[in-house]
Amino acid sequence: MPDPEPLLKMRGIKKSFDHVEVLKGIDLDVLAGEVHAVVGENGAGKSTLMNILAGIHQPSAGTISFDNQTNLTLPDTKSAQRLGISIVFQERSLFHQLTIAENVFAARQPVTKFGAIDRKKLARDTRALLERVGLKLDPKLLVGDLSPAQQQMIEIAKALSLQAKLLIFDEPTAALTLVETNALFDVIRQLKEANVGIIYISHRLEEIFHIADRVTILKDGSWQGTLRVSETDTDELVRRMVGRDLELRHSDAIAAGNPILFEIKEITDSPQLPHPLLRDVSLSVRAGEIVGLAGLAGAGRTELALSIFGMRPRAGGEVYVSGRPVRIRSPREAITAGIGYVYEDRKDGGLFLDMSIAGNIAAAKLDIFGSWWMDRAKEITVATQFKRSMQITCRNVQQAVQKLSGGNQQKVVLAKWLLVRPKVLIVDEPTRGVDIGAKAEVHSLLYEFARQGSAVIVISSELPEILDVSDRIYIMREGKITGMLPREGATEERIMRLASLFT
| DSSP string computed for 110-164 | -B-TTSSB-HHHHHHHHHHHHHHTT----TTSBGGGS-HHHHHHHHHHHHHHTT-
Residues 385 and 442 in one domain: no
How many domains in the chain?
3
332 and 360 share one domain: no
Asked if residue 273 belongs to a domain, the reply is yes
Q: Do 117 and 132 fall into the same domain?
A: yes
Q: Is the pTM of this model over 0.75?
A: no
| Domain membership flag for residue 386 | yes
What phi and psi, each to the nearest 5 degrees, are found at residue 419?
-65, -40
pLDDT number for residue 503 = 43
Which pLDDT belongs to residue 201? 92
Torsion, Cα 182 188 190 193, to 10 degrees, reads -140
Nearest to 273 by CA among 317, 314, 327: 314
215 in a domain, yes or no? yes
Distance CA 49, CA 328 (A): 49
Rounded CA separation 111/404 (Å): 45
Q: What is the pLDDT of residue 192?
A: 92
Query: Are residue 283 and residue 324 in the same domain, yes or no?
Result: yes
| 341: Cα separation from own chain's centroid | 18
pLDDT at 240: 87
Q: Do 101 and 230 reside in the same domain of the chain? A: yes
pLDDT at 245: 55
Count CB-CB contacts under 10 A for residue 195: 12
Please check whether residues 161 and 278 belong to one and the same domain: no
Task: Note the residue count of the chain.
Answer: 503
147 and 290 fall within a common domain: no
Do 77 and 221 share a domain, yes or no?
yes
Which structural domain range is residue 141 located in? 8-242
- Which residue, 242, 274, 305, sits at the end of a domain? 242
- Does residue 330 share a domain with residue 443? yes
Residue 403 DSSP label:
G
- End-of-domain residue from the set 242, 271, 295: 242
User: In this structure, are 434 and 407 located in the same domain?
Assistant: no
Q: How would you write the pLDDT of the chain (503 residues) with one tens digit per residue? A: 567 889 999 999 999 987 888 899 999 999 999 999 999 877 788 989 999 999 999 999 999 999 999 999 999 988 998 999 998 875 557 888 999 999 999 888 888 888 898 999 999 999 999 988 888 899 999 998 887 778 878 888 888 888 889 999 988 887 777 777 888 888 899 889 989 999 999 888 889 999 999 999 998 899 999 999 999 998 888 888 877 555 555 555 555 578 999 999 999 999 999 889 999 999 999 999 999 999 987 899 999 999 999 999 999 999 999 999 999 999 999 999 999 998 876 666 668 888 899 998 888 777 788 777 778 888 899 899 888 887 888 889 999 888 887 778 888 888 888 888 899 999 998 887 777 777 888 888 888 888 889 999 999 988 888 998 999 999 999 999 999 999 888 998 899 889 875 44
Nearest to 455 by CA among 300, 331, 310, 291: 291
How many Å apart are CA 449 and CA 465, to the nearest integer?
Answer: 17
CA–CA gap between residue 4 and residue 140 (Å, rounded) = 43
- Write the CATH number for 159: 3.40.50.300
The per-residue pLDDT for 223 is: 94
Report the distance separating Cα 284 and Cα 289, nearest Å: 10
Residue 203 covered by a domain: yes
